[in-house]
Amino acid sequence: MKAVEYTEYGSPDVLRVVDVDRPEPGPDEVLVAVRAVSVNGSDWEGLTGRPAYARLGGLRRPRRRVLGSDVAGTVVAVGADVTTFAPGDDVYADLLDRLGCFAEHVCAPARSFAPLPDGMSFVEASAVPQAGVIALRGIVDRGRVRAGQRVLVNGAGGGAGAYAVQLAVLAGAEVTAVDTAHKADHLRSLGAVRVLDHRVDDWTRTGPYDLVLDLACYRSVGAIARGVAPGGTYLVVGGAVRSLLQVLLLGPLVGLAGRKRLRVLAVPLGVRHVGPLVDLLQAGAVRTVVDRTFPLEQTAEALRRHGSGRSVGKVVVTVDPT
């Protein structure tokens, strides 16, 4: 089968389309013919090896040669102990713990997969897992956004940000979205009432906000605290290691005076956590914006598009059924 490999960190130029053996499912695994894989911020980080946490699995060289975690496809074989799926079932999953989805087939434990949600295309379903869990966790479960609150989403134009903006708007919040300037129309169309350009505006001086969900944190914990209202919450999901460590180690102390909760948000893995978002997508209350799709052979172009900052919405790699 075809897979898209890399053996060193770098630009999309290091990716190669290669022929590899098709994996065989173990007793508790299913083999899935991949139909769509969405590109996440974590794929770009895994490709470039930046920020430093992207090298946790391999300091000098990537430990896993094939990227791609958020996948939708069709089961083609199941292991001896699998009773939940059968060949022909359409499924989706978040395989961030093992990757390997930029390929014609992927093998993983059956428990990682869920049936493809009714009415959802492979492309749309592949866009949901990781981005959806981050947004649900940040806005609903931990953020507990309520009507009338001032919410800021930093990095709002990416996969997780687009869902986060919509979930906060649905909850009745007044949403400020921060990203690069050319995504302003897109962010307003998702319901943001105010859009900031991170290259020009300093969100820590435009608030304060009751909740900040930060998907691209490059600030000091002192600056962050300034942007959060007394009694408010700041949750960081990704960004520079230095900033994440500051929030992790100093956040509880720095926030103490203003009763501000400054925390790193740990996000659980797996599509079993995206149920409430899937319901909203199926009801048409939230939408997935897809920027472009690319065939598997052009995975490098897909990552280039994501990393260029030009994409508006999700970039998705597709595989035609053979």
Q: Which residues bind ligand NAP (CB under 6 A)?
A: 40-42, 44-45, 130-131, 134, 154-155, 157-161, 178-180, 198, 215-216, 218, 237-238, 265-267, 309
Q: Are 111 and 98 spatial neighbours (Cβ–Cβ below 8 Å)?
A: no
Q: What are phi and psi for residue 107, nearest 5 degrees?
A: -120, 135
User: Least distance in Å: CB of 86 to ligand NAP?
Assistant: 30
Integer Cα distance of 35 and 53 in angstroms: 29
User: Least distance in Å: CB of 321 to ligand NAP?
Assistant: 27
Strand partners of residue 292:
315
Give the side-chain half-sphere CA count within 13 A for 31.
15
Integer Cα distance of 292 and 255 in angstroms: 41
Q: Are 238 and 258 spatial neighbours (Cβ–Cβ below 8 Å)?
A: no
Measured from the CB atom, the residue of 82 and 128 that comes closer to ligand NAP is 128
Helix (H, G, I), strand (E, B) or coil at 322: coil
User: Least distance in Å: CB of 40 to ligand NAP?
Assistant: 4
Residue 208's nearest CA partner among 150, 124, 263 is 150
Measured from the CB atom, the residue of 105 and 304 that comes closer to ligand NAP is 304
Integer Cα distance of 230 and 259 in angstroms: 6
Integer Cα distance of 110 and 75 in angstroms: 10
Integer Cα distance of 260 and 231 in angstroms: 5
Strand partners of residue 114:
92
Strand partners of residue 72:
36, 92
Q: Which residue has the tokens 């129309």?
A: 185
Residue nearest to ligand NAP (CB): 158
User: Least distance in Å: CB of 91 to ligand NAP?
Assistant: 20
Q: Give the dihedral of Cα atoms 120, 163, 32, 83; nearest 10 deg.
A: -80
User: Least distance in Å: CB of 3 to ligand NAP?
Assistant: 22
User: Least distance in Å: CB of 258 to ligand NAP?
Assistant: 23
Measured from the CB atom, the residue of 1 and 289 that comes closer to ligand NAP is 289
User: Least distance in Å: CB of 75 to ligand NAP?
Assistant: 25
User: Least distance in Å: CB of 179 to ligand NAP?
Assistant: 5
